Structure 1
Amino acid sequence: MSTESAAKGSMDTTAAVPDWVGSALERVLGRVAVTRSEVGDRFPLFADPGSGRWTTTGRGSWTGGFWAGLLWLRARHTGIETDREAAVRFTGRLEDWVDADTATRGLIFWYGTVLADTPESAALRVRAAHSCQDAYDPELGLVPWGSAFGGPRLLARADGVPGMVPLLASVDPQVAGSHLRRHLELCVGEGPFCWSWRYERPVGWTPCDDPPPGWSRGRAWLLLAVADAAHRLATGDLAEAVSQLLHGPAVPPADEGQPEGPLDTSAAAITAVALLKLGHREQALALLDELVGTHVTADGRLLNGCYDLASGTATEHELIWGDFFLAYALATLTGLVDPHEA
């Protein structure tokens, strides 16, 4: 079976699910309830590995959709109305980002709304998708990184592709395909891998060194986008891209150039979801077994995620997107969600 065929197929629901999967999901979603009580009306970003105390943001930044998505996963798991009310509330607060000039709107609005069950959330996702479609630059062949977080606007970054591909595909598959192809051409083309490129007239595209070539999440983010494209778009053969991006240890170092440095479990969790979408169940299960057995605490915290190694920010911490992708992968295995739902 081709990679694309596997991606477009459904999970084998007859396959046995190890007992630890359900237990781990209970712990991770139990942690969501604790986090909600601690952060109040703010969005969690990363938590100290010792105390578990969260650093939070008021508006959610680029990670707000992962908190909303986690709340929807918990609400679906428990069926408790107060859990659902929290999910509805935080999803509604993402509206401030609809017209923000950032390609991370894919992360914010796809993962923050797609698991929701309200017409308001669906309408919000459609608005965000059309706004991103309007931001598409036909000369560049993509939705630029944008200026919302400072720095140059005309960038192509690997973390501007996941979420954006399925979000754009919901309103304009051609634009979604172009956005993916241009990033693959730049980031994993003939030259050395580079996760960020700047466009300057009349020079064209030039590589940037931030994030560095060894950045752990570069491969993971693009692999996730490829997995979504294989299921949602008529993109042709993506097997070569998958083989290029599936490389290295299951739980990678935060920077391949510093193999003795901190790990990044969040990259592994993202990869696990991509593997499940691509139909590589056993490989995903082995990766998740390592994550749960080695890096998840008794109270459901996925530790050893690295937010930003270069600045020394949260280098061994619990990261909100790591929690989301771990929970989503586990929920896929238990049948709580479909691998292609989000």
Structure 2
Amino acid sequence: MRRFDDAVARMLSRAEITERAATQGFPHFADQNTGEWTLSPDGNWTGGFWGGLLALGAATTGESRYAELAGDIARRLTVRASSETAFRGFLFFYGAGVAYLTGKSAPARESALAGARGLAASFNHDAGVIPLGVEAEEADAVGQGAANIDAVPGTVPLLAWAAAELHQPELTEIARRHAERHIEYCVRTDGSVCQSAAFDEGSGALVRRYTHKGLDDDSTWARAQAWAMLGFGQAARWVSPDFLDTALTVADWWLEHLPEDHIAPWDFDAKAPQDTSATAIAAASLLKLSVLAPDRTHYRERALAMVDALVTRFLTPVGEGDTRPAGILTGGCFDYRRDLATDNELVWGDYFLMESLLVLRGVIEATAL
């Protein structure tokens, strides 16, 4: 595991540079050649992963400065608790929940609880789902009658965790219903995942499936598949083991379609370019599922192969003569349809690679997050 120790050291050196660059915003995506970050002023849907990455830095080093920085990110995100977007699950589970679960940060706890309360307030009890919301960070087709799979990971464990902290079991029920609806909306009969859905606001009935970021409505956007693996795995861990079969189904589909080089394309029907961020999410998910379903021993083996491919072929420096800043996870594809950051460092890819590395090194438990 020496190469993984070295990878963590490189990523921490990259975090030091990122921290100095992100004093007036949140890292969003970066030029993989220069390392220059594009920042979001309010965190968009991605800012929480920066806080989570810092919290993981504290977990692996024991250094209080990482924990303090993570706590500061959690405080800065608290103003987003009432934002009308389902992606608050990403912001508050990763931007605050991770810091509390790994380091018992008091400010992170308060921020995470604020995020959970905000999400619960957005729950449509008639439809049985938290809608994307009018402020959801997608280019179009959002609002009170829209949903997508991205809103399951983070959201489900955040609500279930808050239910225990606040002794409010109704929050777990919201998490359960929200996850169940997304199985109906997004998981196809063959185990592939469609990113998005329109539903009837009064009954919750599915109106149509579509995609925000995939090749087309019938294709399988890699990040949608990875988010489903993560979200339903978290639902199995935090809400009910009844979700495990779905998590395994979507994970098996991923493994059956993953190319031999262990790196996913941005969309499984498009082949190129690749998306290292989707691969990192899937690796972290497989590590969780390998614990929840110990008979699937190949899950950990496949996750290890994916992480090894990311570290050896995409984490700078890649080979001799690579003079780029160390610790950049290259090859992330944010939004190919809109030609946005299609071959870049992506902050969530950084987070999930670091999480996977810490699990493989025994620093954290896979199912702790």
Could you say whether these structures have the same fold, taking a TM-score greater than 0.5 normalized by the shorter chain as the test? yes
1:56 to 2:39 alignment: yes
1:274 counterpart letter in structure 2: S
State how many pairs are aligned: 324
Q: 1:66: how far off? A: 0.3
Question: For 1:115 and 1:89, how far apart are their aligned partners in 2?
Answer: 13
Cα distance in 2 between the residues matched to 1:56 and 1:70: 16
- Give the aligned partner of residue 196 of structure 1: 196
Runs of 5+ consecutive residues of structure 2 not aligned to the other structure: 164-170, 291-298, 318-325
Shift of 1:316: 0.7
The change in CA–CA distance for 1:38 and 1:200 in structure 2 (over 3 A counts) is same
Q: Which residue of 1 aligns with 2:117?
A: 130
Q: Is the 8 A contact 2:193 2:228 kept in 1?
A: no
TM-score by length of 2: 0.83
Which has the larger displacement, 294-303 or 149-158? Answer: 149-158
Whether the 8 Å contact between 1:91 and 1:121 is mirrored in structure 2 is yes
Q: Which moved more, 1:82-91 or 1:213-222?
A: 82-91
The answer to whether the aligner puts 1:181 opposite 2:197 as a matched pair is no
Gaps of 5+ in 1: 1-17
Which residue among 309, 314, 319 is the counterpart of 1:290? 309
Question: Structure 2 CA distance, aligned partners of 1:319 and 1:78?
Answer: 23
Which position in structure 1 is the counterpart of 2:213?
211
Q: Which aligned pairs between 1:191-340 and structure 2 lie closer than 5 A?
A: 193-200=193-200, 204-212=206-214, 213-236=219-242, 238-246=244-252, 247=254, 248-249=257-258, 250-259=262-271, 261-279=272-290, 280-298=299-317, 299-340=326-367
Equivalent pair of 1:114/1:341 in contact (CA under 8 Å): no
Question: AA paired with 1:283?
Answer: R
Out of 72, 75, 78, which is 2:55 matched to?
72
Cα deviation for residue 145 of structure 1 reads: 0.8
Is the 8 Å Cα contact of residues 269 and 322 (structure 1) preserved in structure 2? yes
Say which SS state the counterpart of residue 115 (structure 1) adopts: helix
Question: Residue 4 of structure 1 aligns with which residue?
Answer: none
- SS at structure 2 position matched to 1:165: helix
Alpha-carbon distance in 1 for matches of 2:341, 2:154: 24
Structure-2 change in CA distance of 1:265 and 1:234 (3 Å): same
Q: Which moved more, 1:277-286 or 1:263-272?
A: 277-286
Give, in whole Å, the separation in 1 of the partners of 2:3 and 2:201.
Answer: 54
Answer yes or no: is 1:84 the counterpart of 2:111.
no
- Structure 2 residue 179 is the aligned partner of structure 1 residue 167: no
Kept after mapping to 2: 8 A contact 1:64/1:112:
yes
1: distance between equivalents of 2:251 and 2:62?
37
Which consecutive segments of 4 or more residues in structure 1 shift more than 6 A? none
Q: In the alignment, is the contact (CA less than 8 A) between 1:196 and 1:211 conserved in 2?
A: no
Give the secondary-structure state (helix, strand or coil) at the position aligned to 1:159.
helix
Question: Cα RMSD between the aligned structures?
Answer: 1.9
Percent identical pairs in the alignment equals 34
- CA 315–122 in structure 1, closer or farther in 2 if over 3 Å, else same: same
Letter in 2 for 1:305: G
Q: Distance in 2 between matches of 1:61 and 1:242?
A: 30
The more displaced of 205-214 and 133-142 is: 205-214
CA contact (8 A) 1:143 1:179 kept: yes
In 2 relative to 1, CA 198–29 (structure 1 residues): closer, same or farther, beyond 3 Å?
A: same
Query: What residue identity is the alignment partner of 1:196?
Result: S
1:151, distance to aligned residue in structure 2 (A):
4.4
CA distance in structure 1 between the partners assigned to 2:121 and 2:6 by the alignment:
44
- The one-letter amino acid paired with 1:43 is F
**Please, what TM-score do these two structures have when normalized by structure 1?**
0.89
Q: How far did 1:97 drift?
A: 1.0
Q: Which amino acid aligns with 2:268?
A: E
Corresponding letter in the other structure for 2:207: W
1:246-290 CA distances to partner (integer Å, 9 max, x unpaired)? 32213211122221x211000010011111111232221111111
Aligned AA (2:209): P
Structure 2 distance, partners of 1:70, 1:45, is 13
Read off the aligned partner of 1:265 and give its amino acid letter. T
